[in-house]
Chains A and B, each alone.
Chain A
């Protein structure tokens, strides 16, 4: 596509760069505002404006958000919730990715009667609005004694994430030639040997996609967190929302922004470090089938 547009003349090139750079600014400004505000004093916030740099750079907002700010009734900052999110995200990401890898392997290379139906069910499952499962899930978690626990949230995220991870792996493995599996079967390899010796060594990219996609999805989730967790087991997103919406006392925007930064940092870091895989996950997640 790109190799043809050599003849473009100067003015139009300048216009194109202009638009693109302006768009960069628009996308970046909220992040910049979030950062500067988080380093301001409350005084600075009232006297300055959104884009004015802090007169006194201070990490007060950050320390307060981390360990003192009120998120509802307690005032212990978001620290505990930040770790909650990790405790929830890491196992949920690993379990759903592993399940997805095996499912994808079976649904692409060991098709059986009904495997296409299962694939269809999974595909459809990716689109179902979670509102239709919230209430029964809440009831079930209650019965299982998992209500308001991190384990309960892990279970929920595994169930509703596995449809996506299965699709990732299935679509990836479909592109691996069937002849490889046939050759390995003739060489005497069985189900697991073929998976671990032939397919797994090829799967690094799709594992990255799945891990990163699931990490962002689960870390950023709010709906399941707010419905299935309360108090001490809440994830960071719920805590952030509580902190921002707590109406007691004076509004401290520096603390809000610092807390938002804390909530955003893990996924931002992942995005910056492995953005390539993140984009691939987004595109794969939307052009399914």
Chain B
């Protein structure tokens, strides 16, 4: 019977049509600033850089269009070729070694290790550092006279010699070392999270079937971590293509321009050498490289989502 007399609750019922209209527009109003910032700051500027890459802009942007001349110049530039080749070497080694170390450490760490939390913290802390800090430290460690070489001499290995940092053929590998040191713990964390997500009954089933632990990991667990593998490669490739800080801190692109990466090339030409057109063209090629990786990745990601 409690329900027969309805309580008058007119207070909120008075909300007018105007308020309703505002309510309906609120979500769009709230995201509008971001939409504008992103629209201009990413997509507008991307186009703008694209336009500049077809001009002969030097110290200041100009709008004399020269067609593909900057791209042609880029292709003929010895320095760009070195930068591209370096990116291939650096990217390939960096991604490969990070994956290897990351997977091995993740599997080892997944064996009911005591103090796992502490160990994980140690593996990952480099990721919290600025690449400039990393570069500074490694530059000191690899210092040809006072660094690693001196340490080995002091420890009695007097014939040890290590001067890669100043050797134009090998300097790029020192950058790989520092970058691997910084990012491999992160790959470990990704794979560890992946391993923890694997259904433990799969493992039990495989053991019941008589498979040994290495076989289980190699044949069953790792293949099921394909998505983790792809996203790791994606992130590492992204770091590699954008790498700039580390090179600036360790070698500034030297000796000569032997450790240039596209990002360093772009910065140098656009902001210090007054060749904005050429710099823009190089930036567009970097974007192209990312797109070549990203489009298939996102495509497969979205397709998988749809299958769910």
Contact = CB atoms under 8 A, between A and B. Distances in A.
Interface of A: 1-6, 8, 13, 16-17, 19-20, 23-24, 26-28, 30-31, 33-34, 37, 45-46, 48-52, 99, 102-103, 105-107, 110, 112, 115, 118, 121-125, 127-139, 158-160, 162-163, 166, 188, 190-192, 216, 219-223, 226-227, 237, 240-241, 244-245, 253, 256-257, 259-260, 263-264, 267-268, 270-272, 275, 278-279, 282-283, 285-287, 289
B181 A27 contact: yes
Given A20-B108, A128-B290, A129-B290, A30 B113 contact: no
Given A99-B34, A282-B127, 15 more contacts: A2-B111, A5-B213, A19-B105, A23-B101, A30-B126, A31-B125, A34-B140, A49-B146, A112-B27, A134-B266, A135-B270, A166-B34, A244-B136, A267-B130, A275-B121
Nearest to B49: A132
Residue of B45, B119, B132, B280 most packed against chain A (CB within 10 A): B132
A37 B127 contact: no
A159 B35 CA distance: 10
A134 B37 contact: no
Given A52-B154, A129-B286, A162-B34, A46 B146 contact: yes
B108 A16 contact: yes
B30 interface: yes
B186 interface: yes
B248 A136 contact: no
26 contacts: A8-B111, A16-B108, A30-B134, A30-B138, A49-B150, A103-B30, A106-B28, A110-B27, A127-B238, A129-B283, A131-B266, A131-B286, A133-B46, A135-B52, A136-B44, A162-B34, A162-B37, A191-B27, A222-B248, A240-B130, A253-B140, A260-B137, A268-B129, A275-B121, A279-B120, A283-B193
A119 B307 CA distance: 20
Contacts of B241: 129
Given A159-B41, A244-B136, A30 B203 contact: no
A241 B279 CA distance: 22
B189 interface: yes
Contacts of A26: 181
B123 A135 contact: no
B129 A267 contact: yes
B110 A2 contact: yes
Contacts of B104: 19
B140 A133 contact: no
B294 interface: yes
Contact of B252 (A48, A159, A245, A270): A245
A278 B125 CA distance: 10
A159 B39 CA distance: 10
Given A27-B123, A128-B290, A279-B189, A263 B146 contact: no
Nearest to A279: B189
B269 to A, nearest CB: 11
Contact of B28 (A112, A124, A139): A112
Interface string B117-152: 001111111111111111111111101001110110
A5 B121 contact: no
Nearest to B282: A131
B23 interface: yes
Given A99-B34, A283-B189, A23 B105 contact: yes
A264 B138 CA distance: 14
B34 A219 contact: no
Contacts of B122: 24, 27-28
Contacts of B245: 222-223, 237
B128 A106 contact: no
B181 A289 contact: no
B283 A17 contact: no
Contacts of A34: 137, 140
Contacts of B146: 45-46, 49-50, 253
